[in-house]
C-alpha cells in the first residue's frame, strides 16, 4: 500500500468556491465544482486552480455522464463528494418559499451521485433547518441509507458554529461527514485558542482604510460599499459606536422608522453595529445593507464593504470576486461556506485516513 494520499473532491453546488478553496488549503485536490449559476463561474475559476467549473443543473445531470467527464471510479476510498446545496427553503430567515421551492429537493438529487459512486467520504453542509426538518428535507432517509450495514458509512452530523473553527463569525451550520474508510466518527477539527473577533480581521490595523458610504474600489481588493440616503447618514451618526443599534435614534420622531414605532422588541439588529471584540453575526447575502441586520461598521457610518464581508467569511484578501453589481458579489460571498471551516473539515478527513492506515499496520 502506498503511503501517498491522493484525495480528490467534487464540489456540488460550489458557488464562488468557499468549500473548494478550503479543501485545497487542507491539501485535497478539487477535480470540479458544479453549479447552475453562471454568475459563479468567473469567481470560481479565478480562485480554484486546476479545477473544472461545470455549469449544470443537478436535476438534469446524470451520474454516468459526470463519472465519464471526470474519470471517476466507483468505490474509490480517496474520493470525496461534497454537497452544500442552496438552502433558502430550510432557512429560518424569512425568504420567498415559492422561489426556493426547488432547492428543498437538492439533497435528494445529491444522494443519487453518492449511491452511484459510493465514495470513501461524503460531506454535506447546510442551514440547521435541514436537521430540524430532517424528514421533509430527505436528510433522515439519507442518513439511514449511509448507515445501512451493506453501505458501511460511519456518520457524524451536528450543528457547528464556525466561530470555533477559525472564522470571526457566529454562523451555525449543519454539517455531515460520512466515511466508510474507518469506524471512527469524523468531526471538524476545532481551532485552539481564543475565538477570532471582528478586530482581528477588519479595521485600519488589518489593512482596511477608512471610507465613506458610497465608496467604490475598482481594484481587486473591492473595499466597496453602497451609498446610503442623507437621512440614514443622520441615523447612523446617532447609533452608538461598537455595538450600538437603532435605539440610538428611536426617540427622534423625524428619524424613527414608522415600522418600529411602539415595536422596540422587534428586529433589534436593524441598523446595528458590529462589536470589535466579538465575532460578527452571520454574514448573509444582504450584509452590504444597513437595514438587513447588524451589518454597520463598528465605528464608521456605513455598511460593511464587500472585502470586509469576505474577510469575516475567512476568505483571504487575495481572493477575487466578480459580479455585475455590489449585490451580486455580496450574494456570492454570503452564500459561501467559510473557507477556514471547510479547511478544518478537510484536515479532519485527512487525519482520519492517516489514523486508519496506522491502525492497519
Rounded-to-integer distance, Cα 189 and Cα 167, Å: 13
C-alpha cell read off for 318: 487575495
For 218, other C-beta atoms within 10 Å of its C-beta total 7
Are residues 333 and 310 in contact, defined by beta-carbon separation less than 8 angstroms?
yes
Q: What are the φ and ψ backbone dihedral angles of 284, each rounded to 5 degrees?
A: -95, 180
The catalytic residues are 87
Are residues 250 and 260 in contact, defined by beta-carbon separation less than 8 angstroms?
yes
Burial of 217 (0-12, 13-18, 19+ CB in 10 A): middle
Give SS3 for 12: strand
C-alpha cell read off for 41: 463561474
Residue 156's DSSP bridge partners are 177
Q: Dihedral (C-alpha) 58, 62, 63, 65: value to the nearest 10 degrees?
A: -120
Are residues 336 and 14 in contact, defined by beta-carbon separation less than 8 angstroms?
no
Burial of 200 (0-12, 13-18, 19+ CB in 10 A): middle
C-alpha cell read off for 24: 485545497
For 268, other C-beta atoms within 10 Å of its C-beta total 13
Amino acid at each position: 500500500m502506498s503511503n501517498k494520499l491522493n484525495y480528490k473532491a467534487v464540489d456540488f453546488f460550489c458557488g464562488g468556491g468557499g468549500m473548494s478553496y478550503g479543501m485545497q488549503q487542507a491539501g485535497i485536490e478539487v477535480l470540479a465544482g458544479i453549479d447552475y449559476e453562471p454568475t459563479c463561474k468567473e469567481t470560481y475559476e479565478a480562485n480554484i486552480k486546476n479545477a473544472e467549473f461545470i455549469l449544470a443543473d443537478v436535476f438534469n445531470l446524470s451520474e454516468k455522464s459526470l463519472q465519464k467527464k471526470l474519470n471517476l471510479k466507483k468505490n474509490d476510498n480517496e474520493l470525496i463528494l461534497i454537497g452544500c446545496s442552496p438552502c433558502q427553503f430550510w432557512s429560518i430567515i424569512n425568504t420567498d418559499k415559492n422561489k426556493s421551492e426547488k432547492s428543498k429537493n437538492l439533497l435528494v438529487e445529491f444522494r443519487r451521485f453518492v449511491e452511484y459512486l459510493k465514495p470513501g467520504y461524503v460531506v454535506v453542509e447546510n442551514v440547521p433547518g435541514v436537521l430540524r426538518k430532517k424528514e421533509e428535507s430527505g436528510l433522515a432517509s439519507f442518513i439511514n441509507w449511509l448507515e445501512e450495514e451493506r453501505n458501511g458509512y460511519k456518520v457524524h452530523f451536528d450543528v457547528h458554529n464556525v466561530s470555533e473553527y477559525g472564522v470571526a463569525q457566529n454562523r451555525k451550520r449543519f454539517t455531515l461527514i460520512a466515511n466508510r474508510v474507518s469506524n471512527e466518527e469524523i468531526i471538524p477539527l476545532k481551532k485552539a485558542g481564543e475565538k477570532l473577533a471582528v478586530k482581528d480581521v477588519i479595521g485600519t490595523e488589518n489593512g482596511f482604510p477608512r471610507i465613506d458610504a458610497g465608496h467604490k474600489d475598482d481594484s481587486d481588493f473591492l473595499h466597496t460599499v453602497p451609498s446610503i440616503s442623507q437621512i440614514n447618514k443622520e441615523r447612523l451618526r446617532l447609533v452608538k459606536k461598537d455595538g450600538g443599534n437603532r435605539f440610538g435614534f428611536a426617540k427622534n420622531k423625524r428619524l424613527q422608522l414608522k415600522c418600529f414605532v411602539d415595536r422596540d422588541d422587534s428586529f433589534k439588529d436593524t441598523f446595528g453595529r458590529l462589536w470589535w471584540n466579538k465575532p460578527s453575526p452571520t454574514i448573509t447575502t444582504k450584509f452590504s445593507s444597513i437595514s438587513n441586520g447588524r451589518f454597520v461598521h463598528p465605528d464608521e457610518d456605513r455598511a460593511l464593504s464587500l472585502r470586509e464581508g469576505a474577510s469575516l467569511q475567512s476568505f483571504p484578501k487575495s481572493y477575487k470576486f466578480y459580479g455585475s453589481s455590489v449585490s451580486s458579489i455580496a450574494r456570492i460571498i454570503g452564500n459561501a461556506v467559510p473557507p477556514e471551516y471547510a479547511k478544518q473539515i478537510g484536515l479532519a478527513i485527512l487525519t482520519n485516513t492517516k489514523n486508519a492506515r496506522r491502525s492497519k499496520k
